[in-house]
Amino acid sequence: MIILSLINIIQLIMAAQAALFGGLALSERLFAFSALMFTFFLHMSFNIMVDTDHLGPFTDITSSFVFLYGPLFYLFIKELTQEAKTLRPDVWLHFVPFFATILITINPSVLGALSLVSLLIYGILIYRYVQTYDRVIDRTLSDALSGRLTGLKWLCGFLGILTLYDITRTLAHDIFGVMRTDFWFAITMLGVLLLINWLALFTFQFNKRFNGLYPGEESIASTFEATPTEVNSEDIKRIENAIVRLAEDNLYLQPDLRLKDFADHVGMDERQLSRQLKAVSGDRFPKHVQRLRIEKAKKLILDAEKAGTKANFLRISFDAGFSAKSSFNKAFKDETGVTPTQWRSAQNQ
C-alpha cells in the first residue's frame, strides 16, 4: 500500500496538471512550453517514486531536472514572444548539462553548486531578453502591449523570488541545519503549483495575440540607438507625407499597429523610417500614434458632451485605437497632464 504525504499529494496534483497543460500546448504547437510542462510532470513523478520507494529499475535523476528548468524557461519566453513559433535545431545545446549529469557521477555538493550556476546564467539571459523585448516594443509598437508585457515581467519576477527562496531553503537546510521540516518544502511546492497554473493561464491567454517579434527584429533595438541620422529636403518631404498618411488613412486606429506595418504602408524600410521620423519630427513612431489617438479621444469626448450623453471612456478608448482602458488612461495623462475625467470637467467649465 502506498502512503502519500501532503508533499506527495501536492506533487501528484502538479504532475497531473502539468501533463494536461503539456498536451494542450502541443496542440497549439508551443513546443518549449510543452517540454517545460512535461519536465514538471516527470520531475514530480520521480519525486513521488523516490519518496515512496517505488523507483523500481529507474535511476534517481531528480537532482538533474534543475538543469532543464533554466533552458526551458528561457526558450519558453522566446517562443511566446517570437512571431515564428518554431525552435531552431541548435536548442539542444542548452540541454547538454542535463544529459551530462545523468551520464557522469558527480558529487552531490558539486552538482548542487552547478545547478545554482545554471539557474543564475539563465536568469541573466531571461532578464536581458525581456529588457530587449521591452526596448523593441517601445520603438516599434504603438500600444506598448503594457498589460501583456507587465504580466510577463511579473511572471519572471515571481519565478525569480521562488527560485531565491528555494536556494535559501536548501542552503539553510544543508549548511546551517535549519528549515528542515516539510512545512518549508511545502511552501516551495505550493509556489511551483501556483507557477504552473500562472504559466498556463498566461500562455494560453496571450499566445495568439501577443504580437511577438518578427525574425531578426530583436536587433532593431540596438540599431535605433545609432548616431543621429542626417536628412535632406527629400527625406523631410517623404517623412511629412508619411505622417499625413498615418492620420488620413486612419492607421493609428488599429490597436495592434506596429512600425513594420506603417513602414510597409508607406513603402519605406523600417529602420530608415524610424531614424528619419525621429530626426525630422523629434518623436518616435509610438509618440505620433499616441498623439493622434488622444486627439481622436478628445473629439469623441466632446461629441458625447454635445449630444448630451455621458462619455463612455472604455468605448472611447477602443474607438480611438487603444487595446485597453489602462493604456488609454496612461497615454491621455501623458499627453495632457490630466486624466480623461479631469479633462472633460475642464471643458464643461
**Average of per-residue pLDDT across 297-310:** 90
- Amino acid letter for position 137: I
Cβ count within 10 A of residue 337: 9
Statement: residue 1 has pLDDT above 70: no
**Average of per-residue pLDDT across 8-16:** 94
Which pLDDT score is estimated for 77? 87
195 burial level (CB within 10 Å; 0-12, 13-18, 19+): middle
Q: How confident is the model at residue 92 (pLDDT cuts 50, 70, 90)?
A: confident
Average pLDDT, the chain: 84
Q: Which residues are within 8 A (CB) of 190 and not within 5 positions of it... i.e. 6 or more apart? A: 10
Q: How confident is the model at residue 228 (pLDDT cuts 50, 70, 90)?
A: low
Statement: residue 215 has pLDDT above 50: no
**Average of per-residue pLDDT across 75-102:** 80
**What is the distance between the alpha carbons of residues 207 and 81, in angstroms, rounded to a whole number?**
8
Q: Which residues are within 8 A (CB) of 244 and not within 5 positions of it... i.e. 6 or more apart? A: none
**Average of per-residue pLDDT across 130-148:** 64
**Average of per-residue pLDDT across 227-249:** 87
For residue 141, give the 3-state DSSP assignment.
strand
Statement: residue 140 has pLDDT above 70: no
34-75 pLDDT tens trace: 999 999 999 999 999 999 998 888 888 999 999 999 999 999
Which pLDDT score is estimated for 332? 93
**What is the distance between the alpha carbons of residues 109 and 99, in angstroms, rounded to a whole number?**
18
